[in-house]
Amino acid sequence: MLEFIIQNNIVCHAVEAMLFASVACAILGVIITQVQISSIGFTMAHAAFAGAAVGMFLSINVTICAILAGVCVAFLIGPLSDKARVSPDTALGLLFGISMAVAIFFIAYMQTLGQGFSAMGLLFGDVISLYREEIYLLALICVVAVVLVVVLYKEITGIIFNKRIAESVGIRVKPVYYAMLFVIALTVALCLPIIGGLLIYVWLVTPAAIALQFCYRLSAMFMVAPIVAAAISVSGALAGLEYSLPVAPLTAVLFSVVFIAAVFLSPKRRVSFRKY
């Protein structure tokens, strides 16, 4: 899609993939951090990772396995977490542990079988060997994330504000909440092969955390987070390919650096005596 700017095909695909993945993750990341379901996002990401590892081991479609695992967790955890009264921490902790155990077991096993290279891709991401279809899928999930937020903006802001109050004003909290979880699960699963199971969480949380340092309004966060994420991810992809560095880890480091800088520059932490 960006061939007219970037001639090199590999670089072009890598940049496109990082762009779409980062925008989708950043938009959903704002929801995840603001609804305070970080632990659910975290667990879904690792379940998708485990699903992908199992899929790779059994030589079935990695993406489909990752989606299945992520969606399963969404619907296992959803009923526990959609009530404002129950804290699903323990259940999430268990699922997270099981996912990691499964993922690491299969990746380690594949390494002993000599398939270590592709298994490493699952851990740290791989932007070099991408199919065109994968990029179209990423573009699609990016659009889905944007549409979700635009169409359900009222309901999502209500849930972010407070789930009980949202329910009390007549918002259909449950279906919206599940739609959110479902799109998050899909996105995580599709971004997994590019970003890697160990790092995807950086994409989900850091852009929103950076935006939070500067934005007082939710609408601003939904704009700033994807723009920041896209800028960092594209720079990371270009720099990584130029200097032959691993793209996803390099970008994750960039994210962290920008986040630390943002914390220091944040106006929210300044005490001022200015009148306004």
DSSP string, 164-175: HHHHHTT--HHH
DSSP string, 234-260: HHHHHHHHHTT--HHHHHHHHHHHHHH
Among 58, 132, 164, 256, indicate the residue that binds another protein (CB under 8 A). 164
Residue 270 interacts with another protein (CB under 8 A)? no
Residue 170 interacts with another protein (CB under 8 A)? yes
- Which residue lies nearer to another protein by CB, 140 or 167? 167
Query: How are the residues of the chain apportioned to helix, strand and coil, as percentages rounded to the nearest 5?
Result: 80, 0, 20
- The region of 102-110, 122-130, 149-157, 199-207 touching another protein under the rule CB under 8 A is 149-157
User: End-to-end CA distance of the chain, in Å?
Assistant: 47
Q: What distance in Å separates the CA atoms of residue 250 and residue 256, rounded to the nearest whole number?
A: 10
Contact letters for another protein, residues 219-238 (x by CB under 8 A): --x-----------------
Q: What distance in Å separates the CA atoms of residue 156 and residue 176, rounded to the nearest whole number?
A: 7
Under rule CB under 8 A, how many of the chain's residues touch another protein? 28
Residue 58 interacts with another protein (CB under 8 A)? no
Contact letters for another protein, residues 59-88 (x by CB under 8 A): ------------------------x-x---
- Among all chains, which residue has been given the structure tokens 């939070």? 212
Residue 169 interacts with another protein (CB under 8 A)? yes
Name the residues that contact another protein, by CB under 8 A: 34, 83, 85, 151-152, 154-155, 157-158, 160-162, 164-172, 212, 215-218, 221, 268
